[in-house]
Structure 1
Amino acid sequence: MASLMQEFAEARQRRLQDRADFLAEQQLAREQRERDLQVQSEETTKYLAHAEQTRLAWEQGRQAIAENALESRREEVQNRAEQVSEFLEDLNTSRTEQAIEDSEQRAQEVRTRTFKTRSQLKHIRKARIRAGQADQAQRQQLVQDRAVLTQMQLEDLNKTRLANATVDAQHRAQEFSDRVANVKASLKQIEANRIAEAEAQNLKLKAFRAELGDSVWSGSRSVAVGTPPANPQPVVATKPTEVSSSKQKKKNTKAEIVESPAPEPVIAKSIEVKESPNETSKPSGKIEQFVIDYVSQLSTNSSLLAVVNDRDTVRDLLAQGANTLKVDPSDILNTLLQMAENSSS
């Protein structure tokens, strides 16, 4: 243990000695560095002083050189300015002389060109006048030729139109004659048909009236009253048309046949109603008013033709009229038929 402590003490002593030696060495090194720095500082100061002196000397020399160079440049610029001034004066003089010569030359050229241009314009104008006169004469000749040709064409066209108009007038006249003949034939045929139909209708109405009278007065309910057939009657309508020609206008009548169907039996106007000798003394106005009142009271809103076609209604009307008006039933029947005829027409 003692040896160990002794070793520790010796080691500590050695470390302390090493530290003291190190500090001494560092102190010596620092002093040496300070001396070196002092020497370097002195040398630097001397160098800077020498450099400053050198710079001042160089600056003085450069300034002197610059002054000398500036003076020489001034002299050179002055010389060049004098040379340029002389050159410009000479150039201005030469240019003025050249401009005068050029102006005189251009004036001479302008006069020459003007004279030539005037001569050319005179020749061109004369040539244009001659060409215009020739063109005008040619156009006049062309216009005259076209006028003659146009006149000939117009004459030919007028002749052609007159010939066509004559032919058309002949065709229209022939067509008019044919239409007139056709219309006359159609009218004759229609008239014949109407007369035949009217006669047939008259016969049918007479038979219908006789049958109606028999059915009313006979008292037989087994015989039905026949309804006369409603034959369509042709109606002739004339429509005027104008046919124009080159000299006059002719009127043409075109017949058109229109058939109108009659849904109800028609009583022809040509039927004759026999009246009794004392009919003029009968109160026909009262009978007509009675018939109108009777028809208006019917629930079916029937017309006079429907009443005439209904046998039972006619019998009832005659019976009520005879009892109410105290007249002959034949007078009531004649009045009813006449009113039905008037209403249908």
Structure 2
Amino acid sequence: MEIVNEPVSIDFDFYNKQIDEYVSRVKEVPGVCSIYLMGSINAPGLSDIDVLVVVSDDFDRDNSKALSVLDLDSRVFLHGPIIIPKSLSQKVQYIFYASNLSCIYGDECLQAWEDLRAGERKKLAACYLIDFIESRFMQFSSIGCSKIDKRAWLTRIWSTVHSLELYQCAFENGVPERVSSLAELVKRTRSDWLEFGVVKEKVFLDGLKASAEINEFIFFNALERLYGCPIINGKFRIVSGSRSIKFHNNMQGKKKYYLAGYKLLNKHLNIFVAEHGPSYLAHLEHYSDIKIGWHYFPRKNEELERVKFKRKEIVACHNFWINSHAPKSGSMRGYLGVDNGLALGLKGRIKSVLSYLVF
């Protein structure tokens, strides 16, 4: 296991200069209405910049590259911006969990997490826990197959703290003592950085393992609380992009992820293969049009189903708009665990076909 990309100290001024550079350029792009920051920069060197840009619905796709962050420092911009058309500005919480929003240019127009009804927040928080953590499982599965980017993983490890906050929002109760102890290992990665300016390898690896275990607890506990222990007739499979997801009754409360590598036309293609129990299939049921033969039905919750259907529709609408108006912006997109309007390039289509044929 090779650990690379040791984080380095970066002062607040550098973050502010990078933000100013982005804003000064983007505010001049025709159709840009507002620019927001999301989250906070409490640990310079580990914290990253999350930026959201609200644009007009008829934004010219030829200007979309000007919204990207590719020309800025990748140490502070770990991912692309979030581009939102004005018509979805009051629905943004259904695309992303956008907390601690701060408008730094233009008019305030984005929906805040606190604008949602309490019951709506609870159901949406539960959805984000399952959807977000499932995407983390894919990232964890790549450990051991490639070098570990310490800088990137320290940010992902810290996101576990936010997942625990969402868990509290969704279910309004504490976690077992074991999980609380693991959370302290996660938090130590951040406290050591702030105090010493370094995260030793043992502290990093302990935090990494603790984060993985906490994510598993939250994921399976949330699934059981929401859907019970359903049983399917036989086996089931979903192919979603470059992933093949298999469902078995004997995987209840368990999961398995692995990467399958292929070489085609001198290109190396990785395909994620996942195995889950029926409770995760129950979660995906209302995100897609799949027809499932249930032997023992999952627990029903009409309010949760309404929230999931709304999230599915809004994420699909956002994806369609990005494909049409901002394809070169590098915009992040809402993640549901199944295809939701993402436009695949040639490589993506080949991987999708391989996922279907091979697995």
TM superposition score category, shorter chain reference: under 0.3
Instruction: Give the TM-score taking structure 1 as reference length.
Output: 0.19
TM-score by length of 2: 0.18
Query: Counting helix residues as a fraction of each chain, which structure ranks higher?
Result: 1
Indicate the structure whose relative CO is greater, using CA pairs within 8 Å and at least 6 residues apart: 2
Higher strand proportion: 2
